[in-house]
Amino acid sequence: MKKVIIIGLTIVISSTVLLPIHVDAATLQEYINKLNAYQQEVNTANEKINQTEGQINATKAEIESINNEMKEMVNEIEQMHQEIDDYNKEIKEKSLQTKQIFQYFQVSEGENVYFEYIFGAENITDLVFRMSIVEQLTDYNEQTINQLEEMIEENKQREVELNKKEVELEEKKVVLNSKISSLENEKIGIQVGAVSSREQLKIYQDMVATYQKLGCKPTDVVGVDCAKNVSVSGFYRPIQQGYITGYMGYRDIVIAGNNFHLGLDMSSANKRNERVYPIAAGKIQRIYKDSYGAKMVLIYHYDPVTGKNYSSLYCHLSSWSPNIYEGQTITPDQYIGNMGDTGFAYGVHLHLEVADCKLYDLTDPNCSRWSNYADYVERRYHQGFHGAVSLINFPSSWYSR
């Protein structure tokens, strides 16, 4: 009978403690190569952004040049209008002068003094001279009027040309503004596309710096030749020292209508003084309280070795670190809060959930909502992914991360 009990205990211990741990080994040089690759992507993106900004500025300068040219054209048109008005006034004056000349020579006190003036000449020379004076006066005025009318016509034609050019310049401005809009969109696209590269670059920079600090050399296999107390994919335990109080899986306690425990529970002799850290480099997605009042932190991670996205959820914190905020890129050595028992909790502990999806991300069909997430985590459990223990080595107790 005792043997049966011992065998049963052995089975229980094996099923709860010796859960599968899947890790992929890589040398530090491989991480450095990844870092350099992302650095090149960021540099290329920055070059494209600078080129695009240069094109935008050049196009804006061209538009400004067009605006100045159009302003000069408007001034020229206004000047021509003034000249036309002045020419018309001069034409009117010359016409009046010509009329007055004829009136003077043709009618004066009922007598035809024009003929008297002409035929009153003393000789032929005087006659020709007198006739020439009258003709010159009238011809001069007529020529002046003709010249003025030609100048008016030239101004009108010039105005037509300027108006036509103004339309062409306006059309060119439309094209250039459209080009700027297209370039701005292209710039935004490059910036958006570079966000992921910049984030990954930051993660790899922190990762390489951490491993180098731990004494890893380029040819060392991380987790095997160096940094043996952390996972090879850059995952760490969330607390410096602690012990397991509950594993992921089915249990007798029913919470919110479900008896499947979604995470890994752990505690520490330090209780509320035990600081909680991210299990890996990533970005803080949410800092919030759940419906029971538990203080929570949700972080997104990207594992460069497997190429997978992960979510880590830290629950029941007694307090949040004052130095964290949503959207923050965070490293494993930045603490996010202290262990606690806020919300629906039995004693001070950390409830850690890790899933290979992005919780509350609408683009992730598996985990866009909590109900989907809970079903997915349970389904993945049956497929062999047991959350945190599938990524991190958790002994029954530990004194280092």
Question: Which tokens sit at 39?
Answer: 């650095």
User: Torsion angle, CA of 200/202/208/214, rounded to 10 degrees?
Assistant: -130
Query: Do 371 and 255 share a structural domain?
Result: yes
pLDDT at 316: 96
Residues 240 and 196 both lie in one domain: no
Structure tokens given for 292:
């029971």
Q: Are residues 242 and 183 part of one domain?
A: no
Residues 130, 117 contacting (CB under 8 angstroms): yes
Domain that holds residue 287: 235-398
Residue 227 lies in a domain: no
Q: Which residues of the chain have pLDDT under 70?
A: 1-25, 94-95, 97-138, 141, 195-196, 203, 223-224, 227-233, 252-258, 304-305
For 79-124, the DSSP string reads: HHHHHHHHHHHHHHHHHHHHHHHHHHHH-BTTB-HHHHHHHT-SSH
Let me know whether 174 and 288 are in one domain.
no
Give, in degrees to the nearest 5, the angle at Cα 52 between 49 and 53.
85
Task: Please state the length of the chain.
Answer: 401
Residue 248 and residue 262 in contact, taking contact as beta carbons nearer than 8 Å: yes
- Do 113 and 163 lie in one domain? The reply is yes
**pLDDT score recorded for residue 90:** 75
Going by C-alpha positions, the residue among 360, 335, 361 that lies closest to residue 350 is 335
Q: In the prediction, which pLDDT does 355 show?
A: 96
Residues 155 and 291 reside in one and the same domain = no
Residue 19 lies in a domain: no
pLDDT value, residue 148:
74
State the burial class of residue 54 (Cβ atoms within 10 Å of its Cβ: 0-12, 13-18, 19+): exposed
The answer to whether residue 187 is domain-embedded is yes
pLDDT in tens, 97-124: 666 665 555 444 444 444 455 555 555 5
Largest CA distance in the chain: 168
Q: What is the pTM of this model?
A: 0.47
pLDDT of residue 335: 93
Count of domains for the chain: 2
What local confidence, expressed as pLDDT, does residue 205 receive?
82
319 and 205 within one domain: no
